[in-house]
Each structure stands twice: as structure tokens, then as C-alpha cells.
Amino acid sequence: MDRRSFLRASTVGGAAAAASTLAAPAIAQGRITWRMVTTWPRNFPGLGVGAQRFADRVTAASDGALTIEVYSAGELVPPLQSIDAVIDGTAEMSHGAAYYWQNKSRALSFFTGVPFGMTSRELSAWVRYGGGQELWDEVYDQFGVQGFLSGDTGTQAGGWFRNELTGLADIQGLRFRTPGLGGQVWQKMGASVTNMAGGEIFQALQSGALDAAEFVGPFNDLALGFYQVCSHYYTSSFNEPGLATEVAVNKAKYQELPTNLQEIIRLVAQAEYDQMPSDFYANDPRALQTLVNDHGVIVHEQFPDDILQAAAGAAKEVLAEILASDDELTRRVGRSFVDAVKMLQTRTDSTDAGYIRARRQFMDYSDL
């Protein structure tokens, strides 16, 4: 699907959605209809498709007892106001990324992606078995929200740039779209950082309002058409090593549900966290081939070493600031995350990384 097709599709039904903005969730003969707003365009590869699949699975698993109606980016509320819609009751659920709401609590960024932080498997281990979910619940209790991991993009791409980055000097004053704690790291390195929803990035690049941007990876970035403006693509991100999406639910509404429907939401979100990366892993390599072979994109596997070194130093500064935060809960979330990384990376570094190095060095599939 090209950029115009899915952006056009994302606006269909907007008028109907606006007409239902103030409508209460439907309850008839024991059946409930909930509204879920998303930060993604409709039918957006991986992310928008995953949001719709989550809704369809909940509806099917509950045999229609709980039907989820999906409102994509801008159909009911602006994409980066999705969580506010859940808080104020305009919608019962949202599908997005927790670090989009870091203005409400910096702690929320830890449940999406942290520069030089956890991989996808490490993050899910912390959330599910290391106390992360309980801390997340404490953060969201302040806003009357319940959060669940709902998707996983894997390690994201580093971003799109008009010119090759030869060193740290090239970042100074660079107008760069990147969110979360990663955005704070790039800002410390000298970039001028902004965040915006995925469907808005291309126009900002095309107009010159942005010099560079990162979003997810080849599968999404091909559809967004970034290659039409920028030719240099960095395929390994240090600031989003294992990005998770979330389903956020109005907690009062969630607790009113029968326990079986609560469990369906929880389990379907978990299933989607595990399915979405398969979609990205299957389609990112194909999309990258298209970007290179059909559009002449120049691929760089990693940023220059001086940029990586500066980024690691800036990331430590950001984490140190959080660990010294005036907010006690934010400090506890940060401390739990850092302690979990120290433990979990021993498994990743000793087992996974060793295998990847060995396969890359000694096993050649090209002649099979």
C-alpha cells in the first residue's frame, strides 16, 4: 500500500466518527460496544493493522459481548490526544505508544522504548515478571487508566536524513522528528527535536519544516514515502531498541466489565504483542529491498561511532536525571528499569548476541 492510499483510507468515515463523538457506549441485551481511538492511520502497516486486529479479536473472542469500534488517527480525536480521550471518557480505549504521553509522566517512556535500553524480549520480561506491570499500573492509576502491552516493532530504524551523517557536527541544529526519551538524547546532542504523528511527518519533511525523521522501520517508512525526500537511511536505532505499543483502557470502565471480558482484553493484548513483531520481521526485509532496488535509498547500518558515543553519554544523563527526579514514583520506575537491564542483558549478551555473531561470521546462506 502506498502513502496516498492508506492516508486516504485513514480519513474515510471521519464525518460519521465526529457525529458519534459524544455518544455513550452502546449496551443492548448484555452486549457492549466500546470506542478505541488510535494514533495510527487506518490500515497502516503493522501498527494500524494490529490495532484493528486487536479489536476484531476481542469482538470474536467475546462472541460479540464486547465489540470494539476502531477510530483511526484524527477520526474522533487528534492522534496525539488519544490518551486524553480515554481519560475524559470520549473513548473507552486507545491504541498508541506510552511515550507519547511523557508530558503527563516521564515514567511512561519506560513502557515504550528507552535509548540503549531494553530489547523487546527484555522489556516483556521486565513488565511480565520483573514488577514492571505493577509500576505501570501505579503510574496510570493517577489518570484512571489501565495499560497493557499490545504490540512490538522490534528494534527500530535510526531515521531518514537528506545527507549522510559523517559525525557529531552534522547533528547541530538538525530539525529532527523523534519522540520520547530518545528525543531528549538527540536534543542533548544538538538536534532541534519535535514530535508529531506518523501521518504528519511526510508533509513536514517535504515542506522543509523537518530536516530528518525517524518513525519505525522499512515496512512503515516505505508506505509513508520518506524516500521521496531523504535518501540516506540508518537502519539500526539506539533510541528505540525494542519499541512497544500499548492498549490503554479507562480503568473504571474496565473494572465494570465481567471478569471474562477483562481477561479477554488482557490476553488478546498479550497475543498482539507477540504477533505484531512477526508482521514486521516478515515485511521489513522486503520493504528494505524495495527501498534500495526501486528507489535508490542509501542504507547505513549504524551511525558513526562518535554519534553513538555521544548518544550513550546523553542517554546516561537522561537516566540520571530521572533517577534523581522529585517524583518518587518516577524514580522507582527508573530504578526498576535500570536494575532489570543490568540483569536481563547478561542473558542477551551471553547467549543471543554470541549466536548472532557466530551466524554472521561463519554461516553463509547465499550459496544454498
Q: Quick: pLDDT tens for 23-80.
A: 445 555 679 999 999 999 999 999 999 999 999 999 999 999 999 999 999 999 999 9
Residue 87 within a domain: yes
Q: What is the mean pLDDT of residues 294-311?
A: 98
Based on the domain organization, do 18 and 60 belong to the same domain?
Answer: yes
198 and 85 in a common domain = no
Half-sphere exposure of 68 (CA within 13 A, CB side): 28
- Residue 313 forms part of a structural domain: yes
Domain presence at residue 109: no
pLDDT in tens, 144-162: 999 999 999 999 999 999 9
Q: Is residue 95 part of a domain?
A: yes
Domain span at residue 185 reads 156-240+294-322
Q: What pLDDT was estimated at residue 17? A: 40
Give percent above pLDDT 90 in the chain: 92
Q: What is the pLDDT of residue 25?
A: 53
Per-residue confidence band for 1, with pLDDT thresholds at 50, 70 and 90: very low
Cell numbers at 23, concatenated: 455518544
pTM confidence score: 0.90
Residue 180 lies in a domain: yes
The string of DSSP letters for 172-215 reads: TT-EEE--HHHHHHHHHTT-EEE---HHHHHHHHHHTS-SEE--
Domain-embedded: residue 161: yes
User: Is 96 found in the same domain as 167?
Assistant: no
Per the structure, the count of domains in the chain is 2
pLDDT tens for 221-241 read 999 999 999 999 999 999 999
pLDDT at 223: 97
Amino acid 308: pLDDT: 98
**Phi (first) and psi of residue 145, to 5 degrees:** -125, 150
Domain with residue 315: its CATH number is 3.40.190.10
Q: How far apart are CA 176 and CA 185, in angstroms?
A: 12
The reply to whether 77 and 36 lie within a common domain is yes
Calculate ∠ Cα 103-139-240, nearest 5°. 60
Strand boundaries in 218-287, DSSP class E: 232-234, 243-250
Q: Indicate whether 89 and 68 sit together in one domain.
A: yes
Task: Tell me, yes or no, whether 126 lies in a domain.
Answer: no
Residues 304 and 210 in one domain: yes
Cβ neighbourhood burial of 72 (10 Å; 0-12, 13-18, 19+) = buried
Shared domain for 60 and 147, answered yes or no, is: yes
148 and 161 part of one domain: no
Q: Identify whether residues 66 and 96 lie together within a single domain.
A: yes
Q: Look at residue 30 in the predicted model and tell me its pLDDT.
A: 77
> Is 50 exceeded by the pLDDT of residue 104?
yes
With beta carbons less than 8 A apart as the criterion, state whether 159 and 237 touch: yes
Going by their DSSP bridges, the two strands 232-234 and 298-300 should be labelled as: parallel
Q: Based on the domain organization, do 312 and 164 belong to the same domain?
A: yes
Query: Is the residue at 333 inside a domain?
Result: no
pLDDT in tens, 88-97: 999 999 999 9
* Co-location of 176 and 306 in the same domain: yes
Same domain, 188 and 203: yes
265: domain CATH number is 3.40.190.170
Q: In the chain, what percentage of residues exceed pLDDT 70? A: 92
Residues 6+ apart with CB under 8 A from 340: 118, 122, 125, 126, 130, 132
